[in-house]
Amino acid sequence: MTSAALDPLAWLILLPMFWATLAFVLGLGRGAWLAIIGIALQLGLALALAGRLLAGGVPVHPVGGWGAPLGIDLAVDGLAATMLLLTQAVALPLAVYARSYFTGDSSERRFFWPLVGFLLAAMNALFVSADLFNLYVTLELLGLAAVGLVAAGGKVGQTAAALRYLLSTLVGSGAYLLGVAMIYGAYGSVSLSTLAPLVDRQAPAAVHLAAGLMLVGLTVKTALFPFHFWLPPAHGGAPAPVSALLSALVVKASYYLILRLWLGILAPLLAPGAAIAWLAGLLGCGAILWGSFKAIGTPNLKMLVAYSTVAQIGYLFIVFPLLGRTSPGDAALQGSVLHAVAHALAKSAMFTAAGVLVKATGQETIDGLAGVATRLPLTLFAFALAGVTLMGLPPSAGFLAKWLLLGAAIGQGQWLLVAVIVAGGLLAAAYVFRVLRHAFLPAPVAVSSRPVPRMLEWVAFGLAASSVLLGLRGMEILRLLAAGGSS
Amino acid sequence: MKRIAGAAVMLSAGILAMALVVSMFELPPPAVRLPQMVQEKLPQSGVEHPVTAVLLNFRGYDTLLEVAVLLLALLGMLAGERPRPAAPDRAPTDPVLPGLTRFLVPLMGLTAVYLLWAGAHRPGGAFQAAAVLAAAAVLLHLTDLLPAWTSLRLRLRTGLAGGLLVFITVAAWLLGEGRLLQYPVAHAGSLILFIEVALTISLGLILAGLFLFLPDDDERRR
Amino acid sequence: MTVNETLPLAVIASSLLPGLIIFVLPESQVGLRSALNLLGALTKVILVGVLLAGVHAGETYAFRYAVLPGIDIAFKADALALLFVTLSATLWLLTTIYAIGYLEGAPNRSRFFGFFSLCVTATMGIAMAGNLFTFFIFYELLTLSTYPLVVHRGTPAALSGGNVYLAYTLAGGALLLVGMAWLYGLLGQVEFVHGGVVSTLRPENRGQLQIIFLLLIAGVGVKAALVPLHGWLPQAMVAPAPVSALLHAVAVVKAGAFGIVRIVYEVYGVEFAQSLDLLTPLAVVAAITILWGSLRALFQDDLKKRLAFSTVSQASYIVLGVALFGPAGTIGGLTHLAHQGIMKITLFFCAGNFAETLGTHKVSEMNGSGHRMPATTVAFSIAALGMIGAPFTAGAVSKAWLSEGAEAAGMAWAVWVLAASSLLNAAYFLPILYRAWFRPASAAWPHEHILARGWRETAWLLLLPPLITATAVLAAAIFADSAWSPLSWARLIAQREYLNAAP
Amino acid sequence: MTTGMIFAGSGAILFAMGVAGVLLPTHLLRKILAFNIMGSGAFLVLVGLGQRSGEPDPVPQAMVLTGIVVAVAATALALALARRLQRLTGRMELPPEAERD
């Protein structure tokens, strides 16, 4: 056994694929423990990888031993390590949650574990891939796994949502693929490390066009306003553990890729404050306002949480006009990554809490929540804590993210962005407290409360608490983010 | 309103096409020459055909993920379907079609084996072979010689997932030797063939399953 | 970690930990819950006592922890912090006792006491915050932990009151955040230091600094209920009486006023603020608030609403004292921070007693209550007279210093404002006392919950706290010159502030 | 102009047509077909640009083989979902966005 045999980089991809396939062979609805053990091991691997990175290593794994540009390289920097860690850390509690959530022979459960395994494999593969075409394959793997999870309910709404999601994600990856094709035509390689020194500001028009296609395609996949139309029905209509996975992690994967390209090979094409950066920023502002507005208006609890995701995605994009004007340890970038982390924890907490509330009350509407404050205080507390993160209130990690973004926006005199960042927090308060207010109403007399496994409540609470407490450990995240050279 | 939107979409598509075509013609020759590299390393790849070498060795990792994509499509399709009762076996009604099928199917099997074997030195390989196998299964089904699949027994599950499991296992085993999917030069050819055989069976089953698991359109039969 | 680092954390933990444990306690564990509450409150009082002695002897207590590069969470227990900490810790103990009696048999008490403890924790954090960032963290935590207390009853009125409360305080928090982020951008770190840190900036930032000051003061001014940001305070009266007492005397309003003190003295520095022409506008706003609050109080029939508007008015005495440039004004303002707290909490305890015992919520229903509940009414009268500024009460002491400060700062008009306010105070408090003592009681009380048993006019847990605080109102005046009185402590702070700030 | 460029150019046009085709029609089968046209366009560009100098390039060819399999998988899933939708609603189009609010 050589040291490569234990390279966490490769195992982070192989392991989830392995247990996913095995879970499928085991049979319908089986494999929960397999998945939980598998994800726990993955978490260990991600930690080991982060440790290696912090110790000064620059983990690269040339698949097949060929090395770029002939072969495909896997590489990890601080950003990738952060996302890997986040993904496994959120997936583990969600797996525990899902095991208790699905009861009996519900159709959602039959292929849940294999689908989740492939979903995680796809995300891990995406985070570490340093090859544009390989990234395309991981994107498709991710998209199909996510669509499969949404479609698993089999009802009309879920099928339509899945189909809408599938078509959007296919158009997105199609545009990305054409961009990759043009890049290959221009430079003869799809390896990021080979391309990095080749792309410069004098690049031919086709490369600019390719960059545009790739970014637009990925933006559709990230559901940035106005491409968000597919997200609320897909995330709001799926079972709670699926909604949590999709909202917390899957949209972040394509965002991660945008960030990676923007800061990496496409950086020479993008002058600081370029028009496309402002386009992204303004669409982000639009997302914050529109998503919050819809969340404040919807009568359905899970749709509220889904629209909140639309709004929170906006925060991820207002970073682009702020990038590149300050030193490499850019506060704006740190803010957006912290936001992605905080949102992943908070949103998974919120969806899991919403799942408990819907299960317990048997109703999906916010009006049906009356009396919940007394009957399910722990879950409601979890929802509120997650809300604190989304509102960007201290001491949550969401607050640190907002603080960094706000500082960058003020420092550059971008008052429009300052106003939207602040307004977004207040709007988030409006929809979060809308839920809490109904929960504090006295319960109607004839109310039947179904018992809910305690484990579900504790998972929601644990995720929410970690999203808040992470605010005290911002330094560690930023240190990991900065490790392994600039991203 | 709808017509304006339609016109706008068409116009934008036209502009996009124009821009793409025009920009393509201005491209300078690429800086990296991958075909040469492929030719140089071909002897170490274990196969003689450059496309197969790229597909299963140089970029074999893509192929690993791609097999997962296919299995995933089947899972996604099955996930939302309600379990349904097994359809009663139907006797073939038309005498001509089954006869033809009985004649064609063995030939298709043979073609698949040839494609698989040919992949090492000319166009062909596991995916092509699997597609032919799946086509044979579809043909059998359409002529009522093979009933639709209604249940997912352990044997079928193993068959569907086997190719991927073999691929992953080999990848993991090779990881112990060096890198992910780094075939030792001496055994590259046989390992690739082994994977290809497993893939052919599984992919054939998956592709067939994408059709045979679909619920019957009962109207057609009535 | 040294003892001097641990002590501030221990003060915070002494309410945080019981609070968290109480959350998970089953509703039925009344005894354990009360024991935890009292244990936490007593521990806190003892810890604060240790701190007091230490600070008096010149010890420094500080703790810091980095959360982001260049951004620390910092606690320091200096003389100013301790003024607020001591007030909150003692009044929390009394309010806890009162609340245990008040909520006997009510539903959802675990939730109530959990958030009650969190609320005090947040107040402690605000008091001991060593920089603006830390201050903000606990300032927002205070908003969040008081919301469940305001809406505790779950009635439509409570929920809409809660909405108004949130809308004001969260918007205020947002302003504070923008101002703070801006200031951090200019300065790097915004520590609370005697004499301020802003004065190190070059003069061309003058315009920016004025805008930032406006943002910061507007942010904390919401909680301090400065007119026109006071709209939430009367609405929040739907909360149970112990909560009102807490909001007005210990936590929310005080946190706002205390924030203004910190911002003027230790962020901008009183001299630098004066040189930016910021103090006079602040004094004017405070004066308007004092008069407007008193005027509105005159016309409220609801007792708690009348007290609420009185709070609007009285809290701005503190702001006025801060805005008066010079040691006397500072001493007056800071002394009032403590004195107003003791007086106002007495009034709310008593109002709660009237409502709980007799069901009287309105001033017009209070005829003759002095005969039915003499002890409570005596306590109420002492506090009310204190508010007016009658001799031998705490109010007289702080008002005297404030008047002196106004004259010293050359703002004679402020003296007239104080005088007018005292008259108005008399105009809305004396009729209550007259009704209570000299009007005959009507045939039946609106809703008599607790019957008198011998000398006990109401439950002893409800009676004890107001009697103690009423005694304190008198003691603070009579022993004003002793070493440990609020006045002496305010003098110590003023001495350190103006001594160190000297150029 | 080499054959490679002819392929690439027609690929670009097919791609644009495919995009318009996914967006415009409401019938699901047409959308799915349009997606395939779009994908084929991208594949043509990849292969065509790769060998515009005249010599064949095995790398994009292998990539396109991978891409085709991925497209087949996606198409199969899309068709299965569309059929399920038709079975449930009797229509081969997406229901108007479920505005539950």
pLDDT tens digits, chain A, 487 residues: what are they? Answer: 445 667 889 999 999 999 999 999 998 888 899 999 999 999 999 999 999 999 888 788 899 888 888 999 999 999 999 999 999 999 999 999 999 998 776 778 889 999 999 999 999 999 999 999 999 999 999 999 999 999 988 888 899 999 999 999 999 999 999 999 999 999 999 999 999 999 988 889 999 999 999 999 999 999 998 899 999 999 998 999 999 999 999 999 999 999 999 988 998 888 777 888 899 999 999 999 999 999 999 999 999 999 999 999 999 999 998 887 554 448 888 999 999 999 999 999 999 999 999 998 888 899 888 888 888 888 999 999 999 999 999 889 999 999 999 988 988 888 999 999 999 999 999 999 999 988 888 877 666 677 888 899 999 999 999 999 999 988 889 999 888 654 4
Q: Cβ contact (<8 Å) for C108 and A426?
A: no
CA distance B73 to A166: 11
Instruction: Answer yes or no: are the C-beta atoms of B127 and B53 closer than 8 Å.
Output: no
Nearest CA in chain A to B71: A21
Chain A, nearest residue to B181 by Cα: A64
For residues A209 and B121, the model is more confident at A209
A135, A171, A227, A431, best to mutate vs chain D, most D CBs in 10 Å: A171
Residues 43-102 (B) with a CB less than 8 A from some CB of D:
50-51, 53-55, 58-59, 62-63, 66, 69-70, 72-74, 76-77, 80-81
Top mean-pLDDT range of C158-162, C213-217, C499-503: C213-217
Mean pLDDT of C4-33: 87
C/B touch flag: 3 or more CB pairs below 8 Å: no
d(CA C427, CA C298): 7
Contacts of residue B60 in chain A, CB cutoff 8 Å?
A: 63-64
C115-124, C280-289, C404-413: least confident range? C404-413
Total number of domains constituting chain B: 1
> Which residues are paired to C62 by β-bridges?
C76
Any idea which of A19-23, A439-443, C133-137, D75-79 has the lowest mean pLDDT?
A439-443
pLDDT higher than 70, residue C501: no
Is D3-89 a CATH 1.10.3720.10 domain?
no
Kindly state the DSSP code that residue D100 receives in the 8-state scheme.
Answer: -
Residues B164 and B76: their CA atoms lie apart, in Å, by 17
From the centroid of its chain, how far is CA A312?
11
What does the pLDDT read at residue D25?
Answer: 85
Cα–Cα dist C140/C170, whole Å:
8
CB B51 within 8 A of CB B123: yes
**CA A98, CA A181: separation in Å to the nearest integer?**
40
Structure tokens at C11: 């003060």
Closest CA to C98 of C457, C391, C412, C463: C463
- pLDDT surpasses 80 at B93: no
Residue C442 is predicted with a pLDDT of 75
Burial classification of residue D55, based on how many CB atoms lie within 10 Å of its CB (0-12 exposed, 13-18 middle, 19 or more buried): exposed
Overall average pLDDT of the C348-367 stretch: 87
List the alpha helices (DSSP H) in C103-188.
109-128, 132-150, 156-187
Tokens for C491? 């003098």
Does B172 sit within 8 Å of A148, measured CB to CB?
Answer: no
What is the domain extent for residue B147? 41-221
Q: In this structure, are residues A382 and A434 in contact, taking their beta carbons and an 8 Å threshold?
A: no
Number of A to B CB contacts under 8 A, please give it.
192
Burial (Cβ within 10 Å: 0-12, 13-18, ≥19) of residue C178: buried
Spatial distance between the Cα atoms of A185 and B25, rounded to a whole number of angstroms:
11
φ, ψ for residue C64 (rounded to 5)? -140, 155
Percent of chain C with pLDDT over 70: 97
The reply to whether B143 falls in a domain is yes
Inspect the interface and report whether the beta carbons of A404 and C154 lie closer than 8 Å. no
**Length of chain C, in residues:** 503
Q: What whole-number distance in Å separates Cα of residue A220 and Cα of residue A258?
A: 11
Q: What is the DSSP letter of A335?
A: H
Tell me if residue B50 falls in helix, strand or coil: helix
Pick from C141, C163, C177: CB nearest A406: C177
Q: What does DSSP say about strands C62-68 and A73-75: parallel, antiparallel, or unpaired?
A: unpaired
A60-62/C62-68 β-pairing: unpaired
Closest alpha carbon to A82 in A265, A241, A327, A256: A256
Number of H helices, E strands in chain B: 9, 0
Query: Is B34 within the bounds of a domain?
Result: no
Determine contact: A442 vs chain C, CB below 8 A.
yes
Q: Among all chains, which residue has been given the structure tokens 């009696």?
A: C101
CA distance C445 to C365: 8
Q: Of all residues in chain C, what percent are helix, strand and coil, respectively (each to 5)?
A: 75, 5, 20
B14 vs D contacts (CB less than 8 Å) = 16
Helices H / strands E in chain A, number of each: 21, 2
Q: pTM of the full predicted structure?
A: 0.93
Q: How many residues does chain B have?
A: 222
User: Cα(A283)–Cα(A332) distance, rounded to whole angstroms?
Assistant: 17
User: What's the pLDDT score for residue A326?
Assistant: 54
- Indicate if the pLDDT at residue B83 is higher than 70: no
∠ CA B185-B190-B193 to the nearest 5 degrees? 125
Q: Measured at the alpha carbon of residue C420, what is the angle toward residues C419 and C425, in degrees to the nearest 5? A: 95
A235 contact residues in D (CB cutoff 8 A): none
Instruction: Give the chain A residue whose CA is nearest to the CA of D89.
Output: A156
Confidence category of residue B91, pLDDT binned at 50, 70, 90: low
Q: Do A418 and C178 touch (CB under 8 A)?
A: yes
DSSP labels, A87-140: HHHHHHHHHHHHHHH--TT-HHHHTHHHHHHHHHHHHHHHHHB-BHHHHHHHHH
Which of B37, B71, B171 is opposite residue A70, by nearest beta carbon?
B37
Pairing of strands C71-76, C62-68: antiparallel
- For the stretch C261-318, pLDDT in tens is 999 988 988 888 888 889 889 999 999 999 999 999 999 988 888 998 999 999 999 9
Supply the pLDDT for residue A485.
58
Nearest-neighbour CA in chain A from B213: distance (Å): 15
Chain A residue with CA closest to C142: the answer is A394
Query: Residues with Cβ < 8 Å from A398, sequence gap 6 or more?
Result: A339, A342, A343, A346, A388, A389, A390, A391, A392, A467, A471
| Closest approach of A306 to chain B, Cα-based (Å) | 22
Cβ of residue A362 closer than 8 Å to a chain D Cβ: no
Q: Where are the alpha helices (DSSP H) in A188-274?
A: 192-195, 205-222, 231-237, 240-245, 251-263
Q: Does A144 touch chain B (CB under 8 A)?
A: yes
> What sign for the dihedral angle of Cα A270, A276, A282, A286?
negative
Residue that wins the pLDDT comparison between B137 and A329: B137
Strand partners, C76: C62
* Chain A interface mutation, best of B15, B23, B167, highest count of A Cβ atoms under 10 Å: B23
Q: What is the mean pLDDT of residues C417-427?
A: 92
Question: Distance between CA atoms of C396 and A455, rounded to whole angstroms?
Answer: 59
Residues D1-46: pLDDT tens digits?
688 899 999 999 999 999 999 988 889 999 999 999 999 999 999 9
- Asked, for residue B18, whether it belongs to a domain, the answer is no
Task: Kindly determine whether residue A374 and residue C170, on different chains, have CB atoms separated by under 8 Å.
Answer: no
C286 — phi, psi (to 5°)? -60, -40
Has residue B33 been placed in a domain?
Answer: no
The region of weakest confidence among B80-89, C164-173, C259-268, C392-401 is B80-89
Give CA–CA dist C470/C393, Å, rounded.
10
